[in-house]
Amino acid sequence: MRLKTEDELIDFAYDAFLEDAQKQLSPADQILFAMQFEDRGAVDIVDLGNDWPANVAMGINENEYCELHIGLVDDNDLLNDVFGRVLVKKKTDDKFIHILWKTE
């Protein structure tokens, strides 16, 4: 079983995020993200959150799944404005993805 590389995970999550961002983010967040992502944007792989099983109604483990955060970093390069938390399967041929969008 081949797993996605970190770059493949990031690309997969970011592409899916961009595809639905206009429908899911508020107009103000869309503008903020579009104007600042080039300078302050980040897509980070993080530890799996404990709340995923409740959000996707299935068991989640770190061997099969990966969580990524997409957003903007502050002056200390900390990702503090998260526009989407993304859950993806690590297996190369699995297209599972679930995004928890920023709400106001």
- Does the residue 41 lie in any domain? yes
**For residue 87, is it within any domain?**
yes
CATH number, domain with residue 64: 3.10.450.140
Asked whether residue 97 is assigned to any structural domain, the reply reads yes
- In Å, how far from its chain's centre is CA 79? 12
In a domain, 56, yes or no: yes
Residues in Cβ contact with 64 at an 8 Å cutoff, skipping those fewer than 6 apart: 89, 90, 91
Residue 53 lies in a domain: yes
pLDDT at 22 over 90: yes
Structure tokens given for 29: 């967040």
Give the model's pLDDT for residue 63: 92
Class of residue 98 by CB neighbours under 10 A (exposed 0-12, middle 13-18, buried 19+): middle
Whether residue 1 is contained in a domain is answered as no
Mean of all residue pLDDT scores within the chain? 94
Q: What range does the domain containing 60 cover?
A: 6-101
pLDDT in tens, 37-87: 999 999 999 999 999 988 887 889 899 999 999 999 999 999 999 999 999
Based on the structure, what is the number of domains in the chain? 1
Q: What is the residue whose two structure tokens read 């903020």? A: 32
